């Protein structure tokens, strides 16, 4: 498997950023790649937005710059659906892989990958944030605006995050990935509150819709190694995609998952179905003319996003939850990402009512001890 960072063909550095140790580390780990010093990121954004495929071209470039604002934000979730009170850390934006359904194509106005190099500010902000929230449990992670491990070979952020959060026992910290870039993690000592998570799909959808991402069986093998090392793991069946034969294909993956992974060491499994804002449909059609995912019947949800009709979502969820439970995941906490109370009640027989209740349910104390 080719490491995702090897497709970086150009590095932009905002003036003054070379003083940051992370910028120097990235350049050293990347090896010989053309570097250009720029005054302002707008220069790069304008240049890439004029290209024929700004998103595709942006995945071959990396911008190193400090983040001037906040690293930590509440997960925006989606209006009118039930969230889980998750916080996101915006260290790296965008991703070298190229999933047809990726919302970042629409969401980020800068198509170039960005690594924020002012880690000194990150730790300060985290210290302050955790102090302000010291009376409650926090779930936080880096995998919302990019893949947590896609650039880890060059940034080595996972090591620093694990070292930082290891002692923060009232925090569950999650790294979420589709990659098998676990070399740095496998060198670290595990901690109960550090969770390494993988997004899973069927092998067919991974091959057709997740360009540049490893086969799902390889992701499961990476999770096996990480669990064997003693870390807790988690999985995200999201986005579930309807196509002819999905029932058996999802069943096969769930079967494989539980044949390799000890369910007692799974922190949670989230489930969500394909959804996207309407303008993304046009972009998917343009960038991925062979993709079929936009041709299934969809309806505008309360948040304005297109999603499958409710009876189809219910059928998808019923099957996935049944398969998870029957294949060995009976005691694993399951939750929905961006779904309604009604779906929770009908499928999981739970009605959390608020994001705080979802959070409380997912903040169960670890039950798994490394062997
Ligand atoms: S791996 Fe995640 S962040 Fe990267 S392209 Fe796919 S959906 Fe987007």
In short, whether 178's Cβ falls inside 6 Å of ligand 1 is: yes
CA of 211 to the centre of ligand 1 (A): 9
What is the secondary structure of 118-164 as a DSSP string? -HHHHHHHHHHHHHHTTTS-EEEESTTSS-TTTTHHHH-HHHHHHHH
In short, whether 102's Cβ falls inside 6 Å of ligand 1 is: yes
- What is the pLDDT at residue 371? 32
pLDDT along the chain (371 residues), means of 10: 82 95 96 94 93 95 96 78 82 96 91 97 97 91 93 97 94 97 97 97 98 97 98 97 97 98 96 93 95 92 88 96 95 88 88 70 50 32
> Relative to the CA of 98, which ligand 1 atom is closest?
5
At 309, which helix (H) or strand (E)?
Answer: none
> Relative to the CA of 103, which ligand 1 atom is closest?
8
Give the CATH class of 67-362.
alpha beta
- Rounded to the nearest 5°, which phi and psi values hold at 89? -115, 120
* Alpha helix ranges (H) inside the chain: 21-30, 41-49, 54-58, 104-107, 119-132, 152-155, 157-165, 183-186, 203-209, 216-229, 246-260, 278-287, 310-324, 341-343, 355-362
In short, whether 144's Cβ falls inside 6 Å of ligand 1 is: no
Non-local (6+) Cβ contacts of 179 within 8 A are: 4, 97, 147, 149, 150, 152, 213, 214, 219, 222
In short, whether 97's Cβ falls inside 6 Å of ligand 1 is: yes
In short, whether 89's Cβ falls inside 6 Å of ligand 1 is: no
CA of 60 to the centre of ligand 1 (A): 14
CA of 98 to the centre of ligand 1 (A): 6
In Å, what is the CA distance from 78 to each residue of 252, 329, 355?
A: 30, 28, 12
- Rounded to the nearest 5°, which phi and psi values hold at 115? -120, 120
> Relative to the CA of 213, which ligand 1 atom is closest?
1
Q: How many CA atoms lie within 13 A of 325 on its CB side?
A: 10
- Residue 330 is classified by DSSP as T
- Residue 82 is classified by DSSP as B
In short, whether 146's Cβ falls inside 6 Å of ligand 1 is: yes
CB atoms within 10 A of CB 209: 24
In short, whether 95's Cβ falls inside 6 Å of ligand 1 is: yes
Structure tokens at 140: 């936080």
What distance in Å separates the CA atoms of residue 371 and residue 366, rounded to the nearest whole number?
14
In short, whether 104's Cβ falls inside 6 Å of ligand 1 is: yes
- What is the pLDDT at residue 366? 47
Out of 110, 147, 206, mutate this one to test ligand 1's pocket (max ligand atoms within 8 Å of CB): namely 147
Non-local (6+) Cβ contacts of 18 within 8 A are: 24
CA of 132 to the centre of ligand 1 (A): 31
List, for residues 329-355, the tens digit of each pLDDT value: 999 999 988 788 889 899 998 877 666
In short, whether 92's Cβ falls inside 6 Å of ligand 1 is: no
Prediction pTM value: 0.93
List, for residues 92-132, the tens digit of each pLDDT value: 999 999 999 999 998 888 999 999 999 999 999 999 999 99
CA of 99 to the centre of ligand 1 (A): 6
What distance in Å separates the CA atoms of residue 256 and residue 242, rounded to the nearest whole number?
20
> Relative to the CA of 146, which ligand 1 atom is closest?
3
- What is the pLDDT at residue 3? 79
Among candidate residues 34, 19, 111, the one with its CA nearest the CA of residue 65: 19
- What is the pLDDT at residue 80? 64
């Amino acid at each position: 498997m080719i490491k995702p960072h090897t497709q970086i063909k150009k590095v932009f550095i905002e003036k003054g950023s070379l003083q940051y140790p992370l910028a120097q580390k990235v350049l050293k780990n990347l090896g010989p790649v053309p570097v250009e010093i720029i005054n302002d990121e707008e220069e790069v954004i304008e240049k890439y937005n004029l290209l024929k495929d700004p998103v595709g071209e942006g995945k071959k470039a990396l911008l190193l710059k400090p983040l001037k604002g906040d690293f930590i934000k509440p997960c925006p979730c989606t209006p009118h659906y039930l969230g889980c009170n998750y916080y996101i850390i915006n260290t790296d934006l965008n991703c070298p892989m190229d999933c047809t359904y990726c919302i970042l194509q629409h969401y980020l106005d800068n198509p170039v990958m960005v690594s924020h190099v002012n880690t000194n500010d990150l730790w300060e902000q985290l210290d302050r944030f955790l102090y302000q929230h010291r009376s409650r449990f926090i779930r936080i992670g880096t995998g919302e605006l990019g893949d947590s491990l896609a650039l880890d070979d060059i940034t080595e952020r996972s090591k620093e995050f694990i070292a930082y959060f290891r002692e923060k026992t009232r925090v569950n910290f999650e790294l979420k990935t589709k990659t098998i870039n676990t070399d740095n993690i496998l060198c670290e000592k595990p901690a109960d509150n550090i969770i390494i998570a993988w997004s899973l799909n069927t092998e067919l959808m991974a091959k057709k819709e997740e360009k540049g991402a490893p086969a799902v069986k390889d992701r499961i093998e990476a999770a096996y190694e990480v669990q064997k090392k003693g870390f807790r793991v988690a999985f995200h069946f999201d986005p579930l995609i309807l196509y002819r034969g999905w029932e058996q294909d999802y069943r096969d993956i769930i079967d494989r998952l539980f044949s390799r992974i000890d369910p007692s060491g799974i922190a949670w499994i989230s489930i969500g179905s394909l959804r996207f804002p309407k303008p993304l449909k046009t972009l998917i059609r343009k960038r991925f003319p062979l993709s079929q995912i936009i041709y299934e019947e969809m309806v505008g949800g309360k948040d304005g996003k297109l999603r499958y009709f409710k009876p189809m979502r219910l059928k998808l969820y019923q099957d996935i939850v049944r398969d998870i439970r029957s294949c060995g995941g009976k005691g694993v906490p399951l939750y929905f990402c961006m779904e309604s109370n009604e779906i929770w009640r009908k499928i999981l027989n739970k009605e959390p009512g608020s994001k705080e209740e979802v959070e409380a349910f997912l903040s169960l104390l670890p039950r798994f001890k490394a062997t």
